[in-house]
Amino acid sequence: MAETEIKATVVVDARGLLCPMPIVKTAKAMKGLAAGEVLKVIATDRGAIADVPAWAGSTGNELLEWHEEGGDLVFFLRRGEEE
C-alpha cells in the first residue's frame, strides 16, 4: 500500500455493483478526465481485481496502484493521452 495516497481528480464509488458495472462506471468517469488526471475507483466485486488492469491496458489508461481497504478494492488510474 502506498505511504501517501495518490491524489485523485474524481472518485467513482462502485461498491455493491456487480460485474460488469464497475468497469462501465469507470469508463464513463474516465471519459470526463483530461490526459494525466487520476481516477480513484472503489469496488467490492472481486472480478474488478482482474478487470481493472485488463480494461486499463486495452484502453490506453494506466493503473497506478491498487490495494484492499477492509472489504473494499481501491484502484488509482491515470487517464492516457487517448482512449
Partner 1 sequence: MGTPEKLVIMVTHGPDDPELATLPFTMAAAALASDVEVVMGFQGEGCLLMKKGVAETVSVPDLAPISDLIGTIAELGGKLLVCWPGLKSRELDQEDLVAGAEIVAAARLVVEVTSATNTLTY
> Is 19 a residue of the active site?
yes
Which listed residue (18, 19, 21, 49) is catalytic? 19
Cα–Cα distances in Å, from 48 out to 3, 28, 35, 82, 83?
Answer: 23, 16, 23, 22, 19
By CB under 8 A, name the one of 17, 42, 63, 64 that touches partner 1.
Answer: 17
User: Does position 72 bind partner 1 by CB under 8 A?
Assistant: no
* Residue 23, all three cell numbers: 468497469
Residue in the structure block whose three cell numbers are 493503473: 63
- List contacts with partner 1 (CB under 8 A): 17-21, 23-24, 26-28, 51, 55, 58-60, 82-83
Hey, which residues are catalytic here?
Answer: 19
